[in-house]
Amino acid sequence: MNSLLILIAAPVVSGLIGYDCGGEGVNISTLSLLDVGDCSTEDIEPQEEEAYIQLLQLSEYDKTPAIQCKVEIDRIISYCGMHSHTSIVHSGRREYIQEIGEHACRRLHETGTITIANAVLDLVKANSTNYRTATLAGSASQDGRCSGAQYTDGCGSWENVVVQATLKITLRTLDLSVKRSVGHVIIPSGTYCKIANRFCLDADGVETYWQPIPVHHCHFEQYDILYEGLATKLSPKQNQTTPIVYTVTTQETTFALTKTSEIDVCGYKLAQTEHPKLLILQTQKGRTFKIRTKITVDNLDIFLYVNSVYVERHIKTQLTQLYRDIMEQKCALEKQVLQNALTLASQ
């Protein structure tokens, strides 16, 4: 029996040819599996025009005004007996923090007065620490006479006693950081409290109160204005697919950002850029997205404000050359991604 050996020689494939049969027209594309084409930017000559823009930052933190109160009491209870003889009582000495509540705290900030037991304290200064001495129950004269009264606090109840105390009252007005993503207010001590509670008591015994935080349905409060004014808009000419670039060069602000896509926020067309938190609104003076205000320190991110390549290489060059260089960098990045994909496909 004879054996038949057949040798088949298969040529090495160096490309793919794809046929698009989805439409009536013919669309034939050839893809190389060996290399990636070079970037060609010689013919790029963008159109330059002035545009009034706002550079927006999607911020994570906000601020809300708040007040704080802390009342520390060091009290001594003495029994007032016959002929004004005094004696010690059980649990007569105690130091504690007195929680006064929102109404008393706001009244203390507004009027500088507070009532503790039977004592009325006034002239308490805001944003400072105030020291006072007071008789909380009963009375005592300078000649040593006393008159006892009934007194009750968290440690018990006493009859015919005189209660004398030293008080330390601390008041403070401040702006609290609000972290929107988790719905928390951050107290200076580091305590996180829910925004909806409008009250927080931290581990130091400080009472903190704030008003309801308004929330706009368009969430305008979630944006900060980093720049507002004129910019140079570099647009591709007809039949070109290069992206739009906004550039600004002033004594205070320097940036070059590429428009990647567009989103709608309550009728405003915001251009998204290569930085996830930076957006651009092209508008007119007086028709802005939001009034520019002071930026919360928590939202400052130096990495968002420095385009090192632009500052280093293009601060003194022409905008056309800058545009070409940006396109070359973008093309080089895409070329590297394709080259990596081909390398993985050939393995």
pLDDT at 179: 84
Identify the burial level of 22 via C-beta atoms within 10 angstroms of its C-beta, where 0-12 means exposed, 13-18 middle and 19 or more buried: exposed
Tell me the pLDDT tens digit for each residue of 66-84.
999 999 999 999 998 887 7
Query: Residue 207's pLDDT band (boundaries 50, 70, 90)?
Result: very high
Query: Residue 33's pLDDT band (boundaries 50, 70, 90)?
Result: low
Whether residue 308 is predicted with pLDDT greater than 60 in this model: the reply is no
Q: Map tokens 């020291």 to a residue.
A: 131
Measure the CA–CA gap between 89 and 232, rounded to whole angstroms.
81
Whether residue 167 is predicted with pLDDT greater than 90 in this model: the reply is yes
Share the mean pLDDT of the chain.
79
Q: Which long-range contacts (CB under 8 A, 24 or more apart) does 330-337 make?
A: 330/243, 330/258, 331/39, 331/41, 332/39, 335/36, 335/37, 335/39
- Which of 33-37, 210-214, 280-284, 337-341 is predicted least confidently? 33-37
Measure the CA–CA gap between 123 and 108, rounded to whole angstroms.
9
Within 10 angstroms of residue 62's Cβ, the number of other Cβ atoms is 21
Phi first, then psi: what are they for 103, rounded to 5°? -60, -50
Mean pLDDT of 157-164: 90
Q: 108 in helix, strand or coil?
A: helix
Q: Give the rounded percent of residues in the chain with a pLDDT score beyond 90.
A: 22
Tell me the pLDDT tens digit for each residue of 233-243.
888 776 666 77
Q: Do the beta carbons of residue 70 and residue 128 sit within 8 Å? A: no
Q: Do the beta carbons of residue 162 and residue 86 sit within 8 Å? A: yes
Q: 50 in helix, strand or coil?
A: strand
**DSSP per-residue codes, 69-105:** EEEEEEEEEEEE-GGG-EEEEEEEEEEEEE--HHHHH
Q: Which domains does the chain have, with CATH numbers?
A: 47-60+219-341 (2.30.29), 63-210 (no CATH)
Mean pLDDT of 256-273: 84
Query: Residue 108's pLDDT band (boundaries 50, 70, 90)?
Result: very high
Measure the CA–CA gap between 121 and 100, rounded to whole angstroms.
14
- Which of 19-28, 106-115, 212-221, 228-237 is predicted least confidently? 19-28
Whether residue 178 is predicted with pLDDT greater than 70 in this model: the reply is yes
Closest C-alpha among 158, 118, 160 to residue 136: 118
Q: Helix and strand tally (H, E) in the chain?
A: 3, 21
Most confident of 107-121, 138-152, 171-185, 317-331: 107-121
More confident residue, 15 or 329: 329
pLDDT at 5: 44
Mean pLDDT of 12-23: 57
**Number of residues that make up the chain:** 347
Mean pLDDT of 10-37: 60
- Which of 186-195, 215-224, 329-338 is predicted least confidently? 215-224
Q: Which two tokens stand for residue 187?
A: 């107290």
More confident residue, 296 or 194: 194
* Cα 308–chain centre separation: 24
Query: Residue 23's pLDDT band (boundaries 50, 70, 90)?
Result: low
More confident residue, 211 or 307: 211
Measure the CA–CA gap between 130 and 326, rounded to whole angstroms.
61
Q: 335 in helix, strand or coil?
A: helix
Query: Residue 279's pLDDT band (boundaries 50, 70, 90)?
Result: confident
Q: Map tokens 């930076």 to a residue.
A: 278
Q: 151 in helix, strand or coil?
A: strand
pLDDT at 8: 45
In which region does residue 313 sit, left (phi positive, over 0), alpha (psi from -120 to 50) or beta (all else)? Answer: alpha
Contacting residues for 257 by C-beta, under 8 A, at least 6 apart:
55, 245, 246, 247, 273, 274, 275, 278, 280, 307
Query: Residue 109's pLDDT band (boundaries 50, 70, 90)?
Result: very high
Query: Residue 110's pLDDT band (boundaries 50, 70, 90)?
Result: very high
Q: Do the beta carbons of residue 149 and residue 156 sit within 8 Å? A: no
- Which of 10-19, 145-154, 324-333 is predicted least confidently? 10-19
Q: Do the beta carbons of residue 302 and residue 79 sit within 8 Å? A: no
Whether residue 28 is predicted with pLDDT greater than 80 in this model: the reply is no
